Amino acid sequence: MATPESTVDTDWTILFVCWLLVAASTLGSLFFSEVMELPPCSLCWMQRIFMFPLAIILLFALFPFDPGIVRYALPLAAIGGLVALYHLLLQVGFIPESAAPCREGVSCSEAQLALFGFVSIPMMSLLVFASVTGLLWSLKRRRSS
Amino acid sequence: MVAKEETVFVKRSTIVLVGAAGLILVFALASFLYTRQRASEIEELAAAADSPLERPHSQTLGSADAKVVLVEFFDPACETCRVFDPYVKAMLAEHPGRVRLVLRYAPFHQGSDTMVKILEAAALQGRFRATLQVMFDTQPEWASHHRPQPEKIWEFLPRAGVDLERIRRDMEEPRIREILEQDVADLRLLGVRKTPQFFVNGQPLTRFGREELRRMLAAEVAKQYPR
């Protein structure tokens, strides 16, 4: 326990914020699919695969505080972010529709929801994955220095 | 040192518990508000003169002047609809003359639109109920999830006592396609995404289940027919 206590406290808070963001997103995505009954498209499912486990493993890393979680959580958040970025580019039309992997079933390129008129589901997903990736990266830097 | 660690633990678990409780509270509140909002929107639609819940072409069962209308959106290929069919009939029998069943189509499965066309063509021969019964009875044969074979229904249709040649001819009538399109437009408007979906006098059944439906129906009958 050579680390000063305040540093541990800040590090713990960073991880807590990550968990809070991910838990809120998990509940939010469940709200869209289970309460609003919007069917998730295949890219949404990909993002869920990287989002949902974070909500559980980050919680366990808080008690007792285990900064080693960064090693496992960072790849999940980063890959999830890449999927969200791809989804967003597809939705705004930057990637042509023909390159979409999912034309059968629920369309990934068609936005089903727009909060305040412009905030779509992949946009929120990208925002959370990017923030969590950034926070976990900063935690990693703090621990190694 | 141990005491200090304990304080830190208590502090941190309080923060996490408060955070978790907050998230769950927001989720529950949002769900409640959203469901209530949807219900009032549907009620408004149902009260309109051209209600999307029932159309002049809709197949109905029961007394025309019943004060309680039970609308069921169903898919001939849906297993739960098959399982619910006898329950719904038994519920109608519980309130003789007081409940009218309106059947609407929700062709969500592959090949379901063909089944709907066959049903409507059979209705022209007065064999709607018998044909629907045959479809439900033989559903595992033609609507298997990993291998749907809608064309297999033709083997079983003679059991319904229908003229197959006439069905083949009538099912392609534009009038029947319009019925199908109208029902699909209405289910989109009402936000029907699962089958069977029930509405009792314009109110959606929010918590799905056999007993839930029975209770909702009984409550509405008691309201409409006070002793």
Q: How far is B216 from chain A (nearest CA, A)?
A: 21
Per-residue confidence band for A103, with pLDDT thresholds at 50, 70 and 90: very low
Does residue B146 have a pLDDT over 70? yes
**Taking residues B35-54, what's their average pLDDT?**
85
pLDDT of residue A2: 46
pLDDT of residue B151: 87
Does residue B83 have a pLDDT over 60? yes
DSSP for chain A reads --S-HHHHHHHHHHHHHHHHHHHHHHHHHHIIIIIS-PPP-HHHHHHHHHHHHHHHHHHHHHTTT-GGGHHHHHHHHHHHHHHHHHHHHHHHTSS-GGG-S--SSS-SSS----BTTTB-HHHHHHHHHHHHHHHHHHHHHHHH-
Q: Nearest chain B Cα to A20, which residue?
A: B19
CB atoms within 10 A of CB A145: 5
> In B, which residues are within 8 Å of A31 by CB distance?
27, 30-31, 34
Q: How far apart are CA A71 and CA B161, in angstroms?
A: 68
Which residues 197-226 of B have a C-beta within 8 angstroms of A?
none
Q: Is B63 on the interface with A (CB under 8 A)?
A: no
Per-residue confidence band for A8, with pLDDT thresholds at 50, 70 and 90: confident
Q: Can you tell me the ipTM of this complex?
A: 0.80
**Taking residues A121-140, what's their average pLDDT?**
95
A31 contacts B27 by C-beta, under 8 angstroms: yes
Predicted confidence (pLDDT) per residue in A11-35, tens digit? 999 999 999 999 999 999 999 988 8
3-state secondary structure of B132: helix
Q: What percent of chain A has pLDDT over 90?
A: 56
Predicted confidence (pLDDT) per residue in B13-31, tens digit? 999 999 999 999 999 999 9
Q: What percent of chain B has pLDDT over 90?
A: 65
> In B, which residues are within 8 Å of A37 by CB distance?
191, 193-194
CB contact under 8 A, B23 and A27: yes
Provide the mean pLDDT of chain A. 86
Report which of residues A24 and B203 the model is more confident about: A24
Provide the mean pLDDT of chain B. 90
B149 contacts: CB under 8 Å, gap ≥ 6: B141, B142
